Structure 1
Amino acid sequence: MTLSISLFQNQLKRIDSSKMFQGLVISVIIISALLIGAKTHDLPTQVITVLALLDMGITIFFAVEIVIRYLASDSKKQFFKNGWNIFDSLIVIGSLIPAGGSGVLLARLLRVFRVLRLVSMVPELRLLINALLKAIPRMGYIALLMFVIFYIYAAIGSILFSDINEFLWGDVSISLLTLFRVATFEDWTDVMYETMTVYSMSWIYYITFIFFTAFIFLNMMVGTVLEVMADEHEIERAKSHGESADGGEPASRAQIEQLQAQVLELKALITEKNKT
C-alpha cells in the first residue's frame, strides 16, 4: 500500500515538474485572462453561454492542478509554508465561489485575480516580485523623506501662492496634489508661469522641487530595487550551483588570500609548537 502511494506521488511529481504541464498551466492562465476581457464586451447569448462553459472548465482545471501540486509535495505542511502556494490556493478557492445570487460581484472579482497566477508560474516574474517586496522596507524610508520634502514645499507654496490661485494652492493638502502634478510633469509649466506673473523668481521653487523629487529620490528608488534584484539573482545563481543560499555575498579574492595567509600562520605556529 505504501509502495503504491509512493509510486503515485512520484508520478504526480513528474507531471508537476514537466515542462509540458507547466506550459499548459500558463496557456490556461492566458486563456483565462482573455476570457475575462471578452466578458466585458456586449456579446450574443450563444457566445456568453460558451464562455461560461469555458470558464467552468478553466476553474475545474485550476482546482485539479492545485490538487496535483499538493499531493506531489513531500511535506503537506511545507507546501503551505511557501507563500506562492498559499497565494495560488486562495485564488483557486476563490474561483470556486458560485457566481449566482449576491456573490456575483465577488466571484467576478476573484476570477480576475486568476491572471496573477501567471506570476507564480513564471520564475522570472517571481524573482521580480520577491525583489520588489524585499525592497519595500528600504523604499519606505526614501518615501518618508520624499513626503517631508513634499510637505515643506507644499507649506511654502500655500503661503506664497494661495492668493494667486486658491484652487491649486488653497491649503497644504491641495498644494500636495499640485506638487504631485508638478513631480509627474503634468502641465507643470502652466502652474509655474501663473505664479511667475506675480513672483518672477518663483521658477527656483519649481526647479529645486523637481531636482529633489524627480532626479534624486526617484533615482534612489530605482537604485534600491536594482540592488535588491542583484542580490536575488545572486541567491538564485548560488542555489542553481548548489552553493549556500543564506543571502551571504560570495567571498572576494582579497578575502580568500587573507584566509589563506591566516591558515599558513596557524600552520607555522602548530609546526613551531610541535618542534618545542
Structure 2
Amino acid sequence: METKGLQNFFWSVRSNRAFEAFVIVVIIASALLVGAKTYNISGNWRTVIYVLDWIITLIFLTEISVRFLGEKRKLDFFKQGWNIFDTLIVVASLVPIEDSDMALVGRLIRIFRVLRLISIIPEMRILMNALIKALPQLGYVLVLMFIIFYIYGAIGSMLFAEINPALWGDIARAMLTLFRVMTFEDWTDVMYETMVLYPLSWSYYLSFIFLSAFAFLNMVIGIVVNVLNEENDRVMLEEQGLTKVSLNEIHTQLNDIQSMLALAEAKRSNQE
C-alpha cells in the first residue's frame, strides 16, 4: 500500500501543470547557459555557470526519476520513444565537461538538451511526430525533385557552359546553380547573363522555378498538413479511449455500412 501511495504521489507530480512549467523553464535556462558558454567569461562567472550546469543536470535527473516512478507499469515508460530520448539525453549529460577527455562530447550533449522542449510540450510532440511520419512520402518528392534538377542541370550545362563555366561548367555545378535559382538568390543575374546569347532562356528558368519552387513546395506542404491532421485525429482518439481503433478501420467500417445500406435499398426497390 505504501509503494502504491508513492507511485500515486509521483504520478500526481508528473501530471501537475506547475511541474511541467518548471521543467520547461529549466530547459530554457539550460539553453541560455549553453549560449553563455560561447562568450569569453571571467573565472568567477565561469564557476557560477559550471555550478548552474550541474544543478540543471540534477534537476533533469530528478525529473526523469519522478516520471519513471510515477509510471503505473514501469516497462510502459520505455515503450514511448520520447521517454527513451529524454533518458538518454539526461544520462549522457552526466559526462563531465571540465578536465576530461570527454569534455567536448559533454558540451555537445548539453546542447541537445534544448530538444527536450519537444518531448515536454504536447503540441510540439505532435508536430515532430507528424514530420517523422511524413518522411517516407517526402522521400519520393525529393527523388522526383532530384530527377528534375538532373534534367535541367544537364540541359543548362549543355547550353550555358561556354557563357559561364563557373556556374554551368558541369552537371554538378549546374545543379548547384539551379539550387541558387530555386532559392531566388540573385537568380535574375544568372538569367540575364544567359539571355544575352539565348534570348528565350527565360523560359528555361521560369519553368524550372514553377516546378521546383511552386509545385514541389506545395506538394511538401500538402503532405505535411495531411499527416499532421491524421496525427491530431490519432491523439484525439487516444484521449477519448479509442486507441485500439485506427482511423483506417473506422473509414472501412463506415464504407461497409454504406455498402450494406445501399444493398438493402436495392433489394427493397426490387421487391417493390
Q: How do 1:1-276 and structure 2 match up within 5 A?
A: 3-99=1-97, 100-244=99-243, 246-248=245-247, 258=258, 261=261
Distance change >3 Å, CA 179–CA 136, structure 1 → 2: same
Q: Deviations over 1:181-207 (max 9, x none)?
A: 000000000000111111111111101
Instruction: Return the letter of the residue paired with 1:213.
Output: S
Counterpart secondary structure, 2:131: helix
Structure 2 distance, partners of 1:38, 1:159, is 51
User: Could you say what secondary structure the match of 1:101 adopts?
Assistant: coil
Q: Distance in 1 between matches of 2:259 and 2:237?
A: 21
Q: Which runs of 5+ in 1 are unaligned?
A: 269-276
Q: How many residues align?
A: 264
Q: Match of 2:39, as an amino acid?
A: H
**Structure 1 contact 169–178 (Cα < 8 Å) conserved:** yes
Query: Aligned partner of 1:67: which letter?
Result: S
Structure 1 counterpart SS, 2:234: helix
**Tell me, what secondary structure is at the counterpart of 1:202?**
helix
| Shift, 1:40, TM fit | 1.2
Q: By how many angstroms is 1:251 displaced? A: 5.3
Aligned CA distance change for structure 1 residues 220 and 245 (closer, same or farther; 3 Å): farther
Amino acid at match of 1:261: L
Shift of residue 255, structure 1, vs aligned partner:
5.0
- Measured in 2, the distance between the counterparts of 1:102 and 1:121 equals 31
Q: Shift of the alpha carbon at 1:247?
A: 3.2
Change (3 A) 1:4 1:259: farther
Task: Give a deviation string over 1:73-116, Cα, whole Å, max 9, x none.
Answer: 12222211210011001110111001132211111000000000
- Cα deviation code 1:242-274 (max 9, x no counterpart): 33564315559x859737837978xx9xxxxxx
Using the alignment, how far apart are the partners of 1:263 and 1:15 within structure 2?
55
**Deviation per residue, 1:198-248 (Å, 9 max, x gap):** 111111110110010011011100000000001111111222233356431
The CA distance in 1 between the partners of 2:256 and 2:22, in whole Å, is 47
Measure, in 2, the Cα distance between the counterparts of 1:134 and 1:152. Answer: 29
The amino acid that maps onto 2:96 is: P
Checking the alignment, whether the CA contact within 8 Å between 1:95 and 1:110 is kept in structure 2 is: yes
- Change in Cα spacing, 1:102 to 1:148, as seen in structure 2 (3 Å) is same
Is the contact between residue 238 and residue 245 of structure 1 (CA under 8 Å) also seen in structure 2? no
8 Å Cα contact 1:150/1:179 also seen in 2? yes
Match of 1:202, as an amino acid?
A: S
Distance 2:61 2:243 in 1: 35
Give the whole-Å Cα distance in 1 for the aligned partners of 2:219 and 2:186: 25
* AA partner of residue 132 (structure 1): L
Inter-partner Cα distance in structure 2 for 1:246 and 1:130: 19
Which amino acid is the alignment partner of residue 219 of structure 2? M
How far is the alpha carbon of 1:4 from its aligned partner?
A: 1.5
Question: Aligned partner of 1:214: which letter?
Answer: A
Provide TM-score, normalisation by structure 2: 0.91
In 2, Cα distance between the equivalents of 1:80 and 1:237? Answer: 22
The Cα RMSD (Å) is 2.2
Tell me, what secondary structure is at the counterpart of 2:247? coil
